[in-house]
Amino acid sequence: MTIRHQRAIRLLVVTLSLALLSPASSAQTRSDKGSLKQCQSVKQRIDRYTAQRRHGGSRKQMQRWQALRNDYRQRYSQLDCKRYRQALK
């Protein structure tokens, strides 16, 4: 490996390190957290599909509602909505 390649690799490593540690990347992480309004919407959808499943339906409907409810539960988790548990009751 030549000196030129070593310098290029070092420069690349430093650039990637700075990109990962920059305030912009942490701001992006903070924006992944949901607002109370977003969390309320997701919680309402979870409750809606839970109620529909309790009411009953065809096997196909039940599976579809369960899949949708699970998708919304995952979204609830991604938005970190547990922070608003008291407000969502």
- Domain ranges, ordered by start, for the chain: 1-31, 33-89
For 39, residues 6+ apart whose C-beta sits below 8 A from its C-beta are 76, 79, 81, 84, 88
Residue 6 reports pLDDT greater than 50:
yes
Task: Name residue 48's amino acid.
Answer: R
**pLDDT higher than 90, residue 8:** no
Contacts of 42 (CB under 8 A, 6+ apart): 34, 72, 75, 76, 79, 81
* Residue pLDDT, tens place only, 18-66: 656 555 444 444 457 889 999 999 999 999 999 999 999 999 999 999 9
What are 23's two structure tokens?
């305030």
